[in-house]
Structure 1
Amino acid sequence: MSSNTTDLPPYSEKHLVKSPGATQTAVSRIAGSVQTCSIRDFQVDYLTIVRNSPTSYHIALTVDPTPLYLVEIGSDASKNDNIQIFSASDATLPALAVARLSANPRSKSEAPATICTASPHLPDAQWRPLTRCGSLSVEAYQTSIPIVTVPGRAPAPHQFSWRTGVLAKSFYQLWWDGPLPLVPSSMFMHDQRGSEYVFATVARKTASDKENIIEIRRGGGLDFEFSVVLELFVVLHFKKEQLL
């Protein structure tokens, strides 16, 4: 394909008027100095869950023991707001995220648990189910979690699956289902998924491992991170287990 540039007017550079004292900074990318973090960067954060009592825990970074959030577990299985996340810095705030456990977890007509990660105290709060799946030998759970897939965009629900006891009894993993963002379906092969599809790994405290650690994919947003914590406790509840 050819083009004729002989009829184009000569290029004339336009200079913007600089304000007094303005300085020009060289940039090496379109985004300039703006820093973003995407789930496709495959970076992770490390959290620790510390047990305060049989029904109370707090969450902190592994690099800083300051409690960031509190997790309260209701002792009455008939209550709707069994597992709640609160701010550790302001006890006057209502629960930030809640998981409600069904009184009939084996029912086929209702989900064994529903989860809300945005203003659960409001009457129009949005609740989403966590459901059981898998085989007799491998118990798994499916969930649709709000997650930020493109920096600057609102979180959108995506399907995930929890795997428990596959690697070892003390390890739980949250797997992304389907192709990753901006990956064509034709390039996706379910049986060849690698570690890039693991969005959270939980290593439970044992006799040899001295703390509960969550390795969680960075960039997914707070709804995603709250969901991981709540769903972990829901899965533990179904398995009749607790974090030490």
Structure 2
Amino acid sequence: MSSNTANLPPYSEKHIPNEISAPDSQTTSNRIAGTIQTCSIRDFQVDYLTLVRDSATSYHISLTVDPTPLYRIELVSSSSKVGDIQIFPATDSAPIAAARLSVNPKSKSEPLATMCTSSPHLPDAIWRPSLTRKSMFSSDEYQTSMPIITMPGRAATPRQFSWRTGSVAEPFYQLWWEGPLPFVPSSMFMADQRGSEYVFATLARKAVEGGENLVQIRRGGGLAFELSVILELFVILQSKKTQLL
């Protein structure tokens, strides 16, 4: 009997994998960071918020793109409360941040307030002095130190800022970064030539004729920074005996 094996193709084993693995996103991405997205203060992105007055002593914060209240602000005069200015999550009764106004508000050297941006109702809460007048003869500029995240993934550290508030009739309050920005050499920094990249927050106050109380805050600085901005705005307003409409 003749054999047909000479006409068959050479034998080879074929291994069928149990599962087909997906390509590694780290190797297919065109970034070292892969698919991880971060936000930095050097991206110069901002969030837009609106401050809505609910009563003579209460406000709420929402995004300009969504009217749903995110936080509420209470102005309290009772000494039994955690602070004179308190910020709460919209649906929670425990404050997440608070400021205590100075008992000597006319002092030119003492801070206008002390504030806490993390569980101020707890006995071990950390309070820090906030806002001093930049000049003995000016009530329109203030110096302050705020915790802010300067690099994604790192803890917030205190940085120096200044508030420019202008006259009572001026609708804009601006928060300016003092000194060179991160990764900007001191030799390239000129204080009198700072542009809008050094403005980290702006309040545009509602006018009698109408409009809104709008707040623009630099994105990426962290919640403690953003809460500090809101608290300090109200401390300044209280020191000027001014209310948002």
Matched, 1:191 2:192: yes
Q: Which amino acid aligns with 1:63?
A: V
Aligned 1:1-244 pairs, distance under 5 A: 20-24=19-23, 25=25, 26-76=28-78, 81-91=83-93, 94-107=94-107, 110-130=110-130, 131-134=132-135, 136=137, 139-165=140-166, 169-244=170-245
* 1:153-183 superposed Cα distances (whole Å, 9 cap, x missing partner): 1100101100002797110000000010111
- Poorly superposed stretches of 4+, deviation over 4 Å: 76-80
CA RMSD of aligned residues (A): 2.2
Moved more, 185-194 or 70-79: 70-79
Secondary structure at 2:134 match in 1: strand
Q: For the pair shown, which has the larger CA radius of gyration, 1 or 2?
A: 2
The Cα offsets for residues 97-155 of structure 1, whole Å up to 9 and x where unpaired, read as: 00100111123664221111012122232222221223635621111100000001110
Contact preservation (8 Å) 1:128, 1:144: no
Tell me the distance in 2 between the aligned counterparts of 1:181 and 1:168: 34
Classify the secondary structure of the residue corresponding to 2:86. strand
Matched residue type, 2:129: P
Could you say if the C-alpha distance between residues 80 and 132 of structure 1 is closer, same or farther in structure 2, counting changes exceeding 3 Å?
Answer: farther
Within 1, Cα distance between the matches of 2:69 and 2:207? Answer: 22
Secondary structure of 2:137's match?
coil
Q: Which runs of 5+ in 1 are unaligned?
A: 1-17
Cα distance in 2 for residues equivalent to 1:99 and 1:153:
25
| 1:187-207 Cα shifts (integer Å, max 9, x gaps) | 111111000000001000003
Equivalent position of 2:7 in the other structure: none
Distance 2:109 2:243 in 1: 27
Structure 2: runs of 5+ lacking an equivalent: 1-16
> Matches of 1:208 and 1:30 in 2, distance apart?
52
- TM-score in terms of structure 2 length: 0.85
Question: One-letter code of the match for 1:233?
Answer: F
Contact 2:148–2:156 at 8 Å: present in 1 too? yes
1:134 counterpart SS class: coil
User: CA–CA distance in 1 between the matches of 2:242 and 2:49?
Assistant: 20
Structure 1 residue 81, shift from structure 2 partner:
0.9
Output the CA distance in 2 between the equivalents of 1:232 and 1:61. Answer: 17
TM-score (norm 1): 0.86
Distance 2:186 2:209 in 1: 42
Which whole-Å CA distance do the structure 2 matches of 1:106 and 1:195 have between them?
Answer: 32
- Distance (Å, rounded) in 2 between the aligned partners of 1:168 and 1:22: 65
- Count of aligned pairs: 225
Q: Which moved more, 1:63-72 or 1:125-134?
A: 125-134
Asked whether the equivalents of residues 49 and 60 of structure 1 are also in contact (C-alpha less than 8 Å), the reply is: yes
Report the Cα distance in structure 2 between the residues aligned to 1:19 and 1:200, rounded to whole angstroms.
Answer: 56
Alpha-carbon spacing, 1:166–1:112, altered in 2? closer, same or farther (3 Å): closer
* Structure 1 pair 73–236 and aligned structure 2 pair: CA distance change class (3 A): same
Q: Residue 80 of structure 1 contacts residue 102 of structure 1 at CA under 8 Å; is this kept in 2? A: no
